[in-house]
Structure formats: structure tokens, C-alpha cells
Structure 1
């Protein structure tokens, strides 16, 4: 039976193979987060309008669009949500397993711009020291900020 399947697979080369693979596998959204720090080490946190009221504080976050480098997603999302310009640094997390989403997180550093929040998505933006993170901060974002790993 395996030989027959292998022979059929070779016969249907090209677009049909890709369509079958696409149908047979999970589809993922790519959530990209930026751990944005200023030159004093403070981290930028946003209070997100669309998030649950008890967990509205978090890092700048959004979804990658097709063909976009994930580091560029961080730059775009921070600019869209805050008006600030950042440069993406090192990759700090790459993880799958949350339903059909892959989580990507980068360090990011301010390089310019003026704070002007997108009031449709963001209620407020503030800089916090690592020692004074707010209540209602997403736990996964707290772990990214402090460099800890989930228990």
C-alpha cells in the first residue's frame, strides 16, 4: 500500500501536491510580540481595548501578514499602535501550541517617533520598570519581560 501511495504522490507532482498538503495540515496565524525597551531599560506596555478587562496590559502585539518578515511585523505593529519607531533585536521566543497560532517575540529598541496611540486598539501606553509591572499584565508577557520561563 505504501508503494502505491508513493507512486501516486510522484505522479501528481506540482500544484496538486501542494493543495493536498494544504488541506491535510493545520493552518496557523503568526502572533508577533515586541519587548520594547527604552535606553533606561523600561518596557513599553499597552492597555489593549479588545483584551479581557482583567488582563488588558501587554506588550505591543499583532499578526504577521503574508510575506512579511516577523521582525518587520514588530516594527509595523509598534508604529501602528503607538507611533514609535523601533528596531527589532534578537528573537526571544518562538513557540507553537496555542490552538492554531504560533507565537514569535523579539526584543525591540526605540529609534524615534512620538507617542501617539491608536485609540481604536489601545486605551493607554506607559513605560514601566521591570520591578513595577502593572496588575492585569498577561502572564506570558511578564515572562518575556523578566526572561523567566513558564512553570
Structure 2
């Protein structure tokens, strides 16, 4: 029986991806960048669309279909702050809330002038990892602490 199923599977090769798409979960991919400057400070943004009391967090956004996740980090930081960064080491990749996959990269600050996107971002500042704001996403706080401890 397994041989028959395997043969049928290869016979329908032109529609395999469509069948897989229909029968498997589809995920949105949220990408976060842990951006540090040469002094070890972390770039944090106060996001307009995040819940009150938890608006501070790392630059984050959703990957566009076909975009490499490391490119998402650079694009999101540029769109939200005007700054240029380069994604480095993958910090984590995990399934998140419902149909969301979460990806985080370390990112190196390359330069640029801070110019926030006022639609999404209320404020952007560099923080010492020891002096993070109280109204911050707890998952981002933990990521910063973990990565700072590993340095």
C-alpha cells in the first residue's frame, strides 16, 4: 500500500505543493532584531500599535512572502527608524501564538540618522541593557538579558 501511495504522490508532482499548502498550517512570520551599537546599547522602539503598558520593544515586523528573514530585520529597522543594520546570528526560531512563527536575529548597527515612522513608532532610543524601560515586552526583555549574559 505504501508503494502505491508513493507512486501516486510522484504522479501528481505538478500539484504536490498545492496539496501540501491546503493540508498543512500556514504561518505568518514575525521577525525581531536585537540591534546594538558599538557601546553595547540596545535600540528600543515605543510602538504605537502595541498594548498600553507594553509599548517598548525591539524593532519587529512581518516577513514579506519570499523575503529572507535576515532581510526582514534590515527592512523593518530602516522603515521604522531610518537606520541601517545588518542581520547577524540567528538568536531563536520558534512557533509562537497561534499561526505565527517568531524569528529573532542579532543585528549590527551600520549607521544612518534616526528618523522614526510616526505612524508605527512613537519614540526610538538607545538603552543600556541594565537600564531597560519598565513598559517593555517581557519576551524582548528576556531576550536582551539572555544575549547580554552570553557576551
Give how far 1:17 is off: 1.5
- SS of the residue aligned with 1:53? coil
- Tell me the distance in 2 between the aligned counterparts of 1:33 and 1:142: 12
Q: Which residue of 1 aligns with 2:124?
A: 125
CA distance in 1 between counterparts of 2:40 and 2:7 reads 58
2:70 corresponds to: 71
The superposition leaves residues 111-145 of structure 1 with CA deviations (integer Å, 9 ceiling, x where unpaired) of 11100000000011111111111112111111111
Task: Measure the CA separation in 2 of the matches of 1:7 and 1:91.
Answer: 38
Matched, 1:98 2:97: yes
SS of the residue corresponding to residue 147 of structure 1 reads helix
1:89 to partner: Cα distance: 1.5
Deviations 1:85-109 (A, max 9, x none): 1111211111114211111111112
Report the TM-score when normalising by structure 1. 0.91
Residue equivalent to 1:32: 31
Deviations 1:26-73 (A, max 9, x none): 001111100011111110100101111121110000111122111111
The CA deviation at 1:3 is: 4.8
Specify the alignment match of 2:11 in structure 1.
Answer: 11
Measured after TM superposition, the shift of residue 2 of structure 1 is 4.4
Q: Matched residue of 1:131: which SS?
A: coil
Q: CA RMSD in A?
A: 1.4
Q: Which runs of 4+ in 1 moved over 6 A?
A: none
* Corresponding residue of 1:134: 133
